[in-house]
Each structure stands twice: as structure tokens, then as C-alpha cells.
Chains A and B, each alone.
Chain A
Amino acid sequence: MNRQGLPPAAPLHWSRSLRLRLLALTLAGVAVAMVLAGLVLSGLFREHVQQQFQAALQLQLDQITARLEFDAQGQPVIAAEALSDPRWLKPYSGLYWQVDAMAPDGRGRAGVLRSRSLWDTSLALQVDALADGAVHVHEVVGPQGAPLLVLERTVRAEGVNAARWRLIVAADLQATQAATARFTGVLALSLAVLLVLLAAAAWAQVAVGLKPLEALQRAVQDVQEARASQLQGSFPAEVQPLVDDFNAVLRRHGEVVERARTQAGNLAHALKTPLAVLENAARARPPTDGQELAALVREQVLVARRHIDWHLARSRVAASAHLPGQRTALQPALEGLVRVMNKVHADRVLDISIAPPQVPLFFAGEAQDLQEMLGNLLDNACKWARSAVRLQAQELSPEVDATQRQLVVTVEDDGPGIDAAQRAQALERGVRLDETVPGTGLGLAIVQDLAALYGGRLDLEPAGLGGLRASLTLPAASSG
């Protein structure tokens, strides 16, 4: 198991990130709104301009109509000088009029009368069935390829056999089209700027809104990496209940473990005193009297005692090894144990020294478990040492993953050591290599087992001092 927690960061798909999701949705909505607004606004503008243009042209048509007269032959005459707008006179000015004769079959003759501005061209309009008085609007291509808006109506000379004439006014659309295009351009630019501003606002909103989640993630990481035992800090009202619940679960978990640990300890306590009584009674019996029974009791008491030690140590660690947020300073634990050893082995004048670590080291686990492991190793070393025991602790440089930090504590003695063949045996449960030194023969096996539960290990090898070197590798917690 990855004790230090988080899986390596994979490239984030947008649907997996709240931030990207919120941003994507907001931006998509804003973009659609902008495009719609652009289309509607530019449409409205275009329509308005065209209506104004058409209304002005309608006035010109009305003016032409008013100036139209018929001579004696019934031919149309327009007093061009009377028309006020100078553009009628300027060639290709963009404002034109024209009178077409309408034959009964509808074909007629185009350009019977034309404004001077039309110069030598005429407007070619398709045949159109116009009711009397109706005005039709068309868009055609006029002189020099200019787009023209055309208004036409028919008039009839007075008289019985009067012919029908078509009156046409046309004006160049280019100016209005340019104005519309300019407006659309400015509009699009404004909307684009607005889009950018809104996107920035959305990003800021998401960033500020999700800030507490980042803090929460950091808090959880602190718990994972054993810098804190609870989620620290205050969070917004939407997140705080989750934090409170999580802390409650952590607390309850810790309490359950602590209770189980106490229960296990109490059970051991309750069993050990009667065992001590039994064993002492068995030893006290005279050798001739009930020797077999006494031997049996002694043997079974030892077995029971090994079981208790073994299961007590295991259950304690099994419960707490995977509890997050645990952190124990190494140096004070070592110093406490060395004080014990110096006192207990006061007769033997042992030189027990701890090499001072460069930085304070922390074990990612429970204090009692650390003491159990180091205590057994140190006790073993002191039992066998001739004169010196050396302790050293250092952090291992991370091999694979920086989150998997490890520390190693080495305990060396200058005793007889254990030869290679016996080293594996030394780690077996209940095996005592030397029956003359007190102990249950569980020490090293318990250490190995506890270390394994924490994801660490115990290695035995010959020491530089001549005896045994035990290296205990354990998960490290950061000092911060």
C-alpha cells in the first residue's frame, strides 16, 4: 500500500476537474450568448438602416411621381430641372430615376425617360406585375456593378386608351452596407472584449470559489503525511460539515484503536500474573516430586507467554500501523531507551552511544510501536555486547517515490555476533540461539514482524564492531 497517500498526478481530463468543468460551462454559455447578441444586434441595425434608406427613396419616388406629366401625344415628360436633389444630374451619382413604357403584354420598353445621372445606361428590371398604386422594392445590380435598392410603381396617363408607365427610382446601397459592416465590426470587437473580460471574471470566481478545496486537500495531505492528526483550519460553511465529519471519523478511529490496544494490554496483564504464579509454583517443586507435571507446566507456561507477547505486539501494531497522521520523533525515543539500558546494565560498563543525526528524524507511526522495536533491538545488543553498542539513524534517499520516505536505524554491538546460517533462524518465532541468556526468543522476530506491518524490514548482518548489526528500516514522516 502507498502509505504516503496520493496517486501520482495523471494529466487531468476536463470532466475530472471541477475547475475546468466550471470554466468550460461558463465560457460555453457566455460564448453562445455573445454570438446570439451579435447576430440580433447587427440584424436589428441592418433592418433599421434599410428602412430609413427605403423611406428616403420612397420620398424621391413620390417627388418624381408628382413631377410626371404627359404631353399631347400622351408621352411622359419630367421637368428634370425642377427636381431639387443635385445627384439626379451628376453621372453615376448613385441616385437614379427612369420611366419605362409598359406594353399590354407586359414587355414594354425600358428607359423611355432617364435621369441624367444614369448617363448612357438604363436600369434593366425584370417584368413585374404591378397593381395600380402599389410600390415594389427590389435589389438589382446597377451601373458600374453597384448594388442598388429599386422602388417601382406604375402610372397611367389620363384618357381611355392610355398606356401604362413604370416609374423607377434607385439608390446605391454601398454606403449603407458599409455603415452596417462597420457597425458589425465594432460590435464583434466589443463582444469579443466582453467575452474575454467575462472569461477572466469566471476564472477568478472559480479560483476563489475552489480555494477552500485546495486548503482541504493540503489538510488531508498533512494528515496522510503525519504532520497533523486532524484536518486543520477553518473552511466555508459548505465544506466545514464535511471536514467536521471527517475529523470525527479520524477521532473515532483513533479511539477505537486506543481502546483495542488497552484491551489487549489488559488481557496480557490479566494473563501474565497467573502465568508467573504457575511458573514459579512449577519451579518450586522438588525435582523428585511430580517432575513431569512441573516440566509440562513450565513448558506450557512458556508457550502461553510467547503467544501473549506475539499476539499482543501484533494486534497493537495491526490496529495502528495504518492509522493516518501519526508521527514520532526518533531521537527522544532512542535516548529514553538508552537511559533504560545504561541503568539496567550498570554492572557491565557498556558504552552505548548514539550518533547524532544531521536532521531530526520522525517515524511515521505510533510511539509505543517504535519503542517496542528499538527496545528489543537495543536490549538484544546490550545482552550480547562485550563493551560497546553503537546506534545510528539516518534518512534514506528516496529510491522510487519521494512520498515514500524511509529512515533506517542501525544497532551494532561488539558481541559474538550470529553466523550467517543462524541469522535467518534468529528471526523465527520462539527460536532462542542461546538458552543461557534470559528471554523468550521472540525479540528479533517481533521486531521483524512489527516492521513488516509498517512496510519496513529488519536486516541482520555482521557489524564493523565485530558483533551483530541490526538495520531497522521504517517509514519516515516529514519534520515539517
Chain B
Amino acid sequence: MRILLVEDDTLLRAQLRTALQGAGYTVDEADNGRDAQFLGETEAVDAVVLDLGLPVVDGLTVLKRWRAEGRNMPVLILTARDNWHEKVAGIDAGADDYLTKPFHLEELLARLRALIRRASGQASAVLQCGDWSLDTRSGRVTCAGQPVALTAHEYKVLDYLMHRPGVLVSRAELTEHIYAQDFDRDSNTIEVFVGRLRKKLSSLAPSSSASARIETVRGMGYRLVPP
């Protein structure tokens, strides 16, 4: 999952980046409204953490422009003042949730998880597909109750697919949502990650009939197929 982080305070941005990356997200950053607007318009982000008090263009304006252009990714706004007026204005401009500074990073992560889950139509924090299970809160992946150890990139691929069971996901789309904007992308590595995932998960599955699988659609991409 790819998060656009927009915050002008360098220290707070660094803390948020660390926390988001620690939670398994790919992070793009912007420290002003103009850059934020550009990234939100051009990059395939899954959610945005948006500070409202921004230089160049304020956060509310950026949010309104995104929504006017039909960009409907979930947006969590950060308001510095405990100001209901700002909250109402933010929600009316198209925000999905707000957090008042100062906030606990755990709460930010929880809210963000909920937003992403809601956006992909998932009701529970624990994503289930057959005997595969992914807990978005702890990042724990199990297969038939057995914990599965995954690398960060493997987790990101599985997380993205588990949010969209049965949906065909192109390799390019996966790449976009797993790597940050300035990362040197090589779509061949996706194949490697998918291969490793299949191996780790199937080794633990008691029977292939109860197990989900990641299907390759030749020339198109991948699909997570429930049993």
C-alpha cells in the first residue's frame, strides 16, 4: 500500500514516515501544497495523510482540487488547532477522517488502516481468504493458523492482493502501489515476490482444496483466488 504523506514540519514528517514504513506502507512525501497536489494527481496512492496548514497552497485547497478531478483515495487530515470549524470544512471538502495534533502514532496508523480497509470494501481489520489470514493491525500473516514470516515487499504484495480478492491486478499496478515514486522500479521483481509468497503459503496449507491461491493471468497480471 502506498501512502502520500503531506506535512511541512520536517521532524514530524520524519517520525510519520518511520512509523508508516514500519507498518508496511510505501511512503511518498511532500512538504508543500503544490507538490502534494501533483503527487496526488499523478501517483497511484492508496491513502493520503494531509496536514491542513501547508505552505504555497493550503491543504484544504489541495483536497478540494483532488476531489474536483475525481481522485477519490481516502484522505486523513491533520488539524493543528482543536478547531471544529476546520474539521467541518475538511470533511465537507472531501476528507474521510481527521486527527488533531498532537496525536499518537498508533492512533494515526489505526485510522489509516480503517480508511484503506473501508475504501476496498473490507469490514474487518483481519483480512481472510480461505485459510490465509492477514491482520492489518499487527502485520501478522497466518496460513491455517500457522504464522508465516514474510519480507516487507512480500507483505506489501500480499496486503494489496488480500484487499482485492478475486480482482485482476496488473503487474504495473502492483509495482505502482508497492514502490515509492523515486524508486527504481523493476517489474520482474514482482514475479519473484509472488513466487516466494506462493511457496511460503502453500508449504503450510494442509490441503490445497481449502487454500486460496495466487493465479497468474498470462500477459495481464495476478488474481487472488479464494478456494
| CB 8 Å contact bits of B4-32 with A (1 = contact, 0 = none) | 00000101100100110000000000000
B81, A284: Cβ atoms closer than 8 Å: no
B85, A371: Cβ atoms closer than 8 Å: yes
A269, B53: Cβ atoms closer than 8 Å: yes
Contact residue among A265, A274, A280, A301 (Cβ-Cβ distance under 8 Å from B83): A265
Chain B nearest Cβ from A46, distance in angstroms: 87
20 A–B contacts from the bound complex (CB under 8 Å)? A265-B81, A272-B102, A274-B11, A275-B101, A275-B102, A279-B102, A280-B15, A280-B105, A283-B105, A284-B15, A301-B102, A312-B82, A337-B88, A340-B84, A343-B95, A343-B96, A347-B114, A347-B118, A371-B85, A375-B87
Q: Counting CB contacts under 8 A, is A144 at the interface?
A: no
Chain A nearest Cβ from B87, distance in angstroms: 5
Q: Counting CB contacts under 8 A, is B183 at the interface?
A: no
* A344 CA to B85 CA, complexed, in Å: 15
B97, A279: Cβ atoms closer than 8 Å: no
Chain A nearest Cβ from B217, distance in angstroms: 33
Q: Nearest CB to that of B114 among chain A residues?
A: A347
Contact flag A346-B12 (CB < 8 Å), given A268-B81, A272-B102: no
> Which 7 A-B pairs give the minimum distances between C-beta atoms?
A276-B102, A375-B84, A371-B84, A336-B88, A269-B80, A272-B101, A340-B91
B84, A368: Cβ atoms closer than 8 Å: yes
A344, B15: Cβ atoms closer than 8 Å: no
Q: Which residues of A contact B222 (CB under 8 A)?
A: none
Q: Counting CB contacts under 8 A, is A396 at the interface?
A: no
A-B contact sample (11 more), CB < 8 A, given A337-B88, A340-B88: A269-B53, A273-B9, A275-B101, A280-B105, A313-B82, A339-B91, A339-B92, A344-B91, A346-B118, A347-B118, A367-B85
Q: Counting CB contacts under 8 A, is A286 at the interface?
A: no
Secondary structure dominating the interface of A = helix
B118, A438: Cβ atoms closer than 8 Å: no
Q: Counting CB contacts under 8 A, is A309 at the interface?
A: yes
* A347 CA to B84 CA, complexed, in Å: 21
* A346 CA to B122 CA, complexed, in Å: 13
A336, B15: Cβ atoms closer than 8 Å: no
* A367 CA to B83 CA, complexed, in Å: 11
Q: Which residues of B contact A346 (CB under 8 A)?
A: 96, 118
Q: Which residues of A contact B95 (CB under 8 A)?
A: 343
Chain B nearest Cβ from A44, distance in angstroms: 83
B11, A277: Cβ atoms closer than 8 Å: yes
| CB 8 Å contact bits of B58-89 with A (1 = contact, 0 = none) | 00000000000000000000001111110110
Q: Counting CB contacts under 8 A, is A281 at the interface?
A: yes
Mark out the residues of chain A between 314 and 364 whose CB falls within 8 Å of any chain B CB in the assembled complex.
Answer: 336-337, 339-340, 343-344, 346-347
Residues on A close to B: CB < 8 A? 265, 268-269, 272-277, 279-281, 283-284, 301, 305, 309, 312-313, 336-337, 339-340, 343-344, 346-347, 367-368, 371-372, 374-376, 438
Q: Which residues of A contact B132 (CB under 8 A)?
A: none
Contact flag A272-B9 (CB < 8 Å), given A336-B88, A340-B91, A343-B96: no
Q: Which residues of A contact B80 (CB under 8 A)?
A: 268-269, 272-273
B81, A269: Cβ atoms closer than 8 Å: yes
Q: Which residues of A contact B179 (CB under 8 A)?
A: none
Q: Which residues of A contact B103 (CB under 8 A)?
A: 276
Contact flag A368-B83 (CB < 8 Å), given A269-B53, A339-B91, A438-B107: yes
Q: Nearest CB to that of B9 among chain A residues?
A: A273
Q: Which residues of B contact A268 (CB under 8 A)?
A: 80-82
Q: Which residues of A contact B96 (CB under 8 A)?
A: 343, 346
Q: Which residues of A contact B91 (CB under 8 A)?
A: 339-340, 343-344
Residues on B close to A: CB < 8 A? 9, 11-12, 15, 18-19, 53, 80-85, 87-88, 91-92, 95-98, 101-105, 107, 114, 118
Q: Nearest CB to that of A336 among chain B residues?
A: B88
Q: Nearest CB to that of A313 among chain B residues?
A: B82
Q: Which residues of B contact A312 (CB under 8 A)?
A: 81-82
Contact residue among A273, A284, A374, A376 (Cβ-Cβ distance under 8 Å from B101): A273
Q: Which residues of B contact A280 (CB under 8 A)?
A: 12, 15, 19, 102, 104-105
Q: Nearest CB to that of A309 among chain B residues?
A: B82
Q: Nearest CB to that of A446 among chain B residues?
A: B82
* A346 CA to B82 CA, complexed, in Å: 21
Chain B nearest Cβ from A199, distance in angstroms: 59
B12, A276: Cβ atoms closer than 8 Å: yes
* A337 CA to B87 CA, complexed, in Å: 8
Q: Which residues of A contact B114 (CB under 8 A)?
A: 347
Q: Which residues of B contact A340 (CB under 8 A)?
A: 84, 87-88, 91, 98
* A438 CA to B98 CA, complexed, in Å: 13
* A368 CA to B88 CA, complexed, in Å: 11
Chain A nearest Cβ from B186, distance in angstroms: 33
Contact residue among A272, A343, A368, A372 (Cβ-Cβ distance under 8 Å from B97): A343
Q: Which residues of A contact B107 (CB under 8 A)?
A: 438
Contact flag A277-B15 (CB < 8 Å), given A283-B104, A343-B96, A344-B98: yes
Chain A nearest Cβ from B56, distance in angstroms: 17
Chain A nearest Cβ from B21, distance in angstroms: 13
Q: Nearest CB to that of B12 among chain A residues?
A: A277
